[in-house]
Chain A
Amino acid sequence: MIRAGLPLLILIALAVLLWVGLGLDPDRVPSPLIGKPAPAFELPDLEREGETVTEADISAEGAALFNVWASWCPPCLDEHPLFMELVAREEVPIIGLNYRDQPEAAREWLARHGNPYRRVALDREGRTGIDWGVYGVPETYVVDAEGVIRYKHVGPIDERILENEIMPLVRELRAGESP
């Protein structure tokens, strides 16, 4: 009896697995860096000649967003207005990592579309990007006041992700810092 029903049991198990699988996103790869201190870097500042940006600058004023972008990346332009809006509300600072880009092109891009970033670090070789596990520009991280990565999103963010995932976390983190 058990032997006769075994194939059916296997089928049911398989169907349940596949059904759950349909609801999962195969492109979503969680970062192992979440809960870990932000990887160290010291890179030239895009706008201030001779100055450098380090990982400490991200969380210098409490929890902040860290956004990886480039002027050659069209999806970066899609999420850009959201950042402009966010900065206008002065809720959270955004630090940028300009990834594998030409500084002139990056500056021109910011001049044309607006600059939401408090600081922009220049990662021309993509070396820092590797340390941060960057694989799909744009990427957005939430770093807390202790300099620990709390969240990562790969790809352009949209209204829904910003309001449902990122901002609640940022507000919670920032509320915890300044009682």
Chain B
Amino acid sequence: MKVISLLSMLILFAGASVAAAPQEFDNPEKQARYDNMLREMRCMVCQNESLAGSPAELAQDLRREVARMIREEKSDAEIRSFLVERYGDYVLYRPPLRAQTLALWVGPFVILLLALAGVAVYLWRRRPGQDEAALDPDEQARLKRLLGEGEAS
């Protein structure tokens, strides 16, 4: 009896209708496309979850829609634009490349290049043998003091 009441509570929580059965494909290639597509889509009603994992009703509905479009041989781009037309770029976990997201996609490589350039300049400036000579006698004395203190403390 208790199971039944518990079941009804679970159903109640999930809204009015019974959950949809998971989508399964006979064709492994389609299954893979489906799985990948869901992983790259954000569940709008959840706190940062993909469509793949969410038990939310809307996620179930959208899984059904995505599965339908894959069965209808729609391309990934068509499925993506179906969702973007309705929910905006926000549904895409992989932001599309456009003017506003250029910095996002190019940024990491620009940062890496800048960092490498910085290191190159640093290494170039302190070619071996230059540094000691660059110190005037005052500084050398201070250096000696510093090193001495460093060891003693």
- A contact set with B: CB distance below 8 Å: 29-33, 70-72, 100-102, 105, 125-127, 129-136
Partner of A31, one of B17, B45, B88: B88
- Min CB distance, A124 to chain B, in Å? 8
Residues of B contacting A72 in the complex (Cβ-Cβ under 8 angstroms): 12, 15-16
Instruction: Kindly state the separation between the CA atoms of A134 and B61 in the bound complex, as whole angstroms.
Output: 11
**B85 proximal to A (CB < 8 A):** yes
- Min CB distance, A91 to chain B, in Å? 30
**Do A100 and B15 contact each other (CB < 8 Å), given the known contacts A126-B57, A130-B65?**
yes
Question: Is there an interface contact between A32 and B57, defined as CB atoms closer than 8 Å?
Answer: no
Question: Is there an interface contact between B57 and A130, defined as CB atoms closer than 8 Å?
Answer: no
Question: Is there an interface contact between A130 and B61, defined as CB atoms closer than 8 Å?
Answer: yes
Instruction: Kindly state the separation between the CA atoms of A100 and B17 in the bound complex, as whole angstroms.
Output: 7
Question: Is there an interface contact between A32 and B16, defined as CB atoms closer than 8 Å?
Answer: no
Question: Is there an interface contact between A135 and B58, defined as CB atoms closer than 8 Å?
Answer: yes
Instruction: Kindly state the separation between the CA atoms of A174 and B74 in the bound complex, as whole angstroms.
Output: 41
Residues of B contacting A105 in the complex (Cβ-Cβ under 8 angstroms): 16
Question: Is there an interface contact between A132 and B16, defined as CB atoms closer than 8 Å?
Answer: no
Question: Is there an interface contact between A102 and B16, defined as CB atoms closer than 8 Å?
Answer: yes
Instruction: Kindly state the separation between the CA atoms of A127 and B60 in the bound complex, as whole angstroms.
Output: 12
Residues of B contacting A100 in the complex (Cβ-Cβ under 8 angstroms): 15-17, 57
Instruction: Kindly state the separation between the CA atoms of A78 and B15 in the bound complex, as whole angstroms.
Output: 18
Residues of B contacting A127 in the complex (Cβ-Cβ under 8 angstroms): 61
Q: Which 8 A-B pairs have the closest CB atoms?
A: A135-B44, A133-B86, A32-B88, A126-B61, A29-B90, A72-B16, A133-B87, A135-B45
